[in-house]
């Protein structure tokens, strides 16, 4: 068993204390017509932010009553609208907003509650949502970008409850988006903001200095998920996990007697992902394709890329033929990036080829990716070809874990024709390595979905996102599989504590007496003995610079013992943060909480020092049955996510590809009608 840490939250709200300090006011347009609802809501929120006496602390849309906004104001304050077309009403007692909305308002109002007592420079950019500033940038033309971590409560899909969602967002100079005396299209109708670190007034303004888009379209500056380094411990605070830790401290400080947020932890079963097993399996997988000829179709007009791709494939043992059109075998299509064709208003040759040869097995690859120097690009292209080949053959060629023959795996898409307000259900079944894929007709869909429990039925009425469905034709029961959107995170408290200790220790010097003490009490290897003697030679007045001591490696047993010795005496300068039993250990491997139906697929190796993304937590609703034995093995397929386990059963990869092919066919039929 292992303790796992999540972004899911438990919330305690003291309504008595909250209503002593704040009032809640609902605002909505009178005589709300359905046809103009969105336009009137946009107009209303704009007018609220332009009020001369704008005294609300935060404002949010009440999504369960989608025709109104709710504002948080200091006790005794009100909002004055002279326009009779807008209704304003204070909410009391049973009319108080839902807990999730109160939490959202308290979150967005957080800086206004802390700024007067804050002892550090303001880290906030208040722009409707709560944003922590993590980086300022200035481009060569002098225009600014502000990179922020946005923190907001969000609903856990499929299981209810809430989680804290840390995301990245970028604000850029509004003046950078003018062209010929007017704002470019993507900047039009964007609300603008001013960065006011001094007063922390609500900063949304009609012609503010910043808008919430990056300087250049398609180029987003993102804060990483987390960065942990004993050499630069302060970098942790400039990440989404670091911001989440700061937010929790800020929230509980500001609202200690009103509200409290606690991140949930679980005791989970762990399935180890072994690198040696994965590497062996991957070599066996690549060998399956080596007897095949790869047909290369080059529409990139980049002879260097074509030559590089050919060399890479031949080096891996494949035969490569060059043609101008697909063959009956495996086809690799070399093209330019999609953005190139959009920018030059040219048809995408890959889409054209798919339309002309719908039955062909074709995988695209861009010349840009070939030139990237990433050798995995070629393996990924080949494994994508493998999946498409399996669909065309109706047979699983690779060595996949077995699935019960009675299971039907289903996923849904909204019909491409918007006039048809319906869902198309795509199905898959695997029987002894034979894979069958089809579109369910209405009778079959109704029969299967009628087996849902009442709770499952409600989730299947979702008009925005359907869960995955797994139907057991033998027991006539459904399982629903959903991405909760909640995150699996490291032990952020331990991380923050260790990194803070390191940061504080680096501000001090280290007495040479501690090094001498270690030398006298511990057996050393020759390398470490020489390193410490050289270190002692740099001492000034019996003290060593912390940065010099921190540079001693933390690899061998003796080196680890040295740093542990220093830490025991208040000099935590270097330690292992990425080990399997360390604070990052919980984001490795696959973990499962069977009684909750929660699981997560983490990394196969120790997490990287700089990690860009979190792993999501999934929920399997088994309709009260025990968690199925076949499920976790079905994730242990290594080519779907390139040398890592899948997040959902592997057969959904084939189903998604089949879904994409069929939807393209439906759209083509509609365009030709």
What's the whole-number mean pLDDT along residues 104-112? 91
- What distance in Å separates the CA atoms of residue 159 and residue 327, rounded to the nearest whole number? 47
Query: Residue 555 pLDDT more than 70?
Result: yes
pLDDT of residue 197: 54
pLDDT of residue 202: 39
In this structure, of 33-47, 413-427, 449-463, 535-549, the range with the lowest mean pLDDT score is: 33-47
What's the whole-number mean pLDDT along residues 210-218? 84
- What is the CATH T-level fold of the domain 276-393, as seen in this structure? Rossmann fold (3.40.50)
* In the chain, % of residues over pLDDT 70: 92
The 10s digit of each residue's pLDDT in 355-411 is 889 889 999 999 999 998 787 888 888 899 999 999 999 999 999 999 999 999 999
Closest CA to 151 of 132, 170, 138: 132
* In the chain, % of residues over pLDDT 90: 47
Closest CA to 320 of 359, 364, 289, 342: 289
pLDDT of residue 199: 41
What's the whole-number mean pLDDT along residues 454-477? 90
- What distance in Å separates the CA atoms of residue 371 and residue 336, rounded to the nearest whole number? 11
Place of tokens 């109104």: 68
Over its C-alpha atoms, the chain yields an Rg (Å, rounded) of 29
Q: Using pLDDT thresholds of 50, 70 and 90, give the confidence band for residue 196.
A: low
Dihedral sign from CA coordinates of 603, 609, 613, 618: positive
- What distance in Å separates the CA atoms of residue 180 and residue 163, rounded to the nearest whole number? 44
Q: Angle, to 10 degrees, between the axis of helix 526-536 and the axis of helix 557-568?
A: 40
pLDDT of residue 667: 62
pLDDT of residue 669: 55
CATH class of 12-108: alpha beta
pLDDT of residue 221: 73
User: CB atoms < 10 A from the CB of 531, how many?
Assistant: 17
- What distance in Å separates the CA atoms of residue 207 and residue 189, rounded to the nearest whole number? 11
Higher pLDDT pick, 200 / 326: 326
pLDDT of residue 200: 37
The 10s digit of each residue's pLDDT in 228-246 is 887 788 888 889 999 999 9
Query: Residue 36 pLDDT more than 60?
Result: no
- Give me the DSSP letters along 451-505: T--HHHHHHTT-SS-PPEEEEETTTTEEEEEEEEEEEEE--HHHHHHHHHHHHHH
pLDDT of residue 484: 96
Structural tokens at position 253: 């400080």
Q: Using pLDDT thresholds of 50, 70 and 90, give the confidence band for residue 209.
A: confident
The 10s digit of each residue's pLDDT in 243-257 is 999 999 999 999 999
Query: Residue 57 pLDDT more than 70?
Result: yes
Query: Residue 436 pLDDT more than 90?
Result: yes
Beta carbons of 470 and 408 less than 8 angstroms apart:
yes
Residue 333's contacts (CB-CB under 8 Å, 6 or more residues apart) are 297, 299, 349, 350, 353, 362, 363, 364, 365
Q: Using pLDDT thresholds of 50, 70 and 90, give the confidence band for residue 178.
A: confident
Place of tokens 């590089």: 308
pLDDT of residue 198: 46
Higher pLDDT pick, 606 / 588: 588
Mean pLDDT for all residues in the chain: 87
pLDDT of residue 49: 74
Please give the angle made by the CA atoms of 540, 542 and 544, to the nearest 5 degrees. 65
Q: Using pLDDT thresholds of 50, 70 and 90, give the confidence band for residue 315.
A: confident
pLDDT of residue 554: 86
Query: Residue 463 pLDDT more than 90?
Result: no
The 10s digit of each residue's pLDDT in 645-670 is 999 999 999 999 999 988 877 665 55
In this structure, of 34-43, 278-287, 306-315, 369-378, the range with the lowest mean pLDDT score is: 34-43
The 10s digit of each residue's pLDDT in 258-288 is 999 999 999 999 999 988 888 888 888 888 8
pLDDT of residue 116: 55
pLDDT of residue 672: 46
Query: Residue 129 pLDDT more than 60?
Result: yes
Structural tokens at position 129: 């949502």
Structural tokens at position 103: 């939490």
What's the whole-number mean pLDDT along residues 193-199? 60
CA distance readout (Å), 465 to 100, 261, 451, 468, 645:
21, 28, 20, 10, 24
Query: Residue 125 pLDDT more than 70?
Result: no
Beta carbons of 131 and 107 less than 8 angstroms apart:
no
Dihedral sign from CA coordinates of 28, 31, 36, 39: negative
Closest CA to 411 of 453, 469, 464, 458: 469
What's the whole-number mean pLDDT along residues 21-30? 90
Domain borders along the chain are: 12-108, 113-223, 276-393, 507-568
Q: Is 276-393 in the same CATH topology as 12-108?
A: no
Closest CA to 272 of 601, 5, 593: 601
The 10s digit of each residue's pLDDT in 136-155 is 888 888 888 888 899 999 99
What's the whole-number mean pLDDT along residues 208-216? 85
């Amino acid at each position: 068993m292992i303790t796992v840490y999540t972004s899911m939250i438990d919330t305690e709200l003291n309504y008595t204390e909250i209503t002593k300090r704040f009032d809640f006011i609902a605002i909505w347009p009178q005589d709300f017509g359905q046809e103009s609802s969105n336009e009137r809501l946009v107009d209303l929120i704009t007018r609220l932010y332009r009020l001369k006496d704008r005294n609300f602390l935060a404002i949010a849309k009440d999504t369960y009553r989608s025709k109104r906004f709710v504002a948080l104001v200091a006790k005794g304050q009100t909002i004055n609208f002279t326009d009779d077309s807008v209704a304003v009403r204070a909410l009391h007692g049973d009319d108080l907003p839902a807990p999730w909305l109160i939490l959202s308002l308290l979150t967005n109002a957080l800086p206004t509650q802390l700024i007067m007592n804050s002892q550090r420079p303001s880290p906030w950019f208040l722009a409707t949502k709560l944003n922590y500033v993590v980086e300022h940038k200035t481009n060569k033309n002098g225009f600014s970008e502000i990179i922020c971590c946005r923190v907001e409560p969000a609903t856990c899909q499929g299981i209810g409850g809430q989680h804290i969602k840390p995301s990245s967002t970028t604000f850029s100079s509004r003046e950078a988006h003018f062209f010929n005396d007017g704002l470019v299209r993507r900047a039009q109708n964007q609300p603008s903001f001013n960065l006011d670190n001094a007063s922390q007034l609500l900063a949304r303004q009609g012609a503010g200095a910043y808008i919430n888009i990056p300087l250049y379209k398609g180029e987003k500056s993102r804060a990483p998920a987390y960065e942990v380094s004993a050499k630069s411990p302060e970098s942790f605070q400039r990440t989404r996990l670091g911001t989440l830790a700061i937010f929790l401290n800020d929230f509980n400080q500001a609202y200690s007697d009103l509200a409290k947020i606690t991140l949930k932890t679980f005791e989970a079963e762990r399935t180890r992902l072994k690198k040696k097993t994965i590497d062996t399996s991957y070599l066996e997988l690549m060998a399956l394709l080596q007897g095949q000829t790869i047909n290369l179709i080059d529409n990139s007009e980049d002879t260097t890329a074509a030559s590089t791709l050919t060399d890479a494939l031949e080096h891996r043992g494949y035969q490569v033929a060059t043609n101008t059109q697909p063959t009956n075998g495996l086809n690799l299509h070399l093209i330019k990036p999609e953005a190139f064709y959009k920018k030059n208003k040219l048809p995408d040759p890959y889409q054209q080829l798919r339309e002309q040869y719908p039955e062909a097995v074709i995988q695209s690859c861009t010349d840009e990716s070939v030139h990237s120097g990433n050798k995995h690009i070629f393996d990924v292209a080949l494994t994508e070809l493998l999946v498409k080949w399996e669909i065309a053959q109706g047979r699983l060629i690779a060595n996949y874990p077995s699935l019960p023959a009675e299971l039907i795996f289903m996923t849904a898409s909204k019909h491409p024709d918007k006039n048809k307000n319906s869902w198309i259900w795509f199905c898959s079944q695997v029987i002894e390595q034979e894979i069958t894929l089809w579109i369910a007709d209405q009778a079959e869909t109704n029969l299967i979905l009628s087996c849902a429990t009442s709770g499952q039925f409600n989730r299947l009425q979702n008009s925005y996102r359907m869960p995955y469905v797994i139907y057991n034709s033998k027991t006539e029961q459904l399982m629903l599989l959903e991405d909760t959107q909640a995150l699996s995170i490291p032990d952020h408290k331990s991380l923050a504590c260790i990194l803070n200790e390191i940061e504080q220790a680096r501000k001090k010097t280290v007495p040479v007496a501690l090094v001498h003490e270690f030398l006298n009490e511990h057996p050393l290897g020759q390398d470490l003995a020489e390193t410490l003697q050289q270190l002692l030679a740099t001492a000034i007045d019996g003290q060593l610079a912390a940065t010099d001591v921190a540079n001693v490696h933390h690899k061998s047993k003796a080196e680890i013992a040295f740093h542990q010795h220093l830490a025991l005496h208040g000099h935590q300068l270097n330690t292992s943060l990425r080990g399997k039993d360390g604070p990052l250990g919980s984001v490795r491997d696959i973990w499962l909480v069977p009684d909750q139906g929660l699981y997560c697929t983490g990394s196969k190796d120790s997490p990287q020092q700089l990690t860009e993304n979190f792993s999501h937590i999934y929920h399997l609703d088994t309709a009260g049955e025990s968690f199925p034995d076949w499920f976790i093995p079905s994730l242990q397929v290594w080519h779907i996510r390139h040398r890592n386990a899948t997040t959902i059963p592997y057969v959904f990869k084939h189903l998604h590809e089949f879904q994409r092919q069929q939807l393209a066919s439906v759209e083509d039929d509609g365009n030709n009608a």
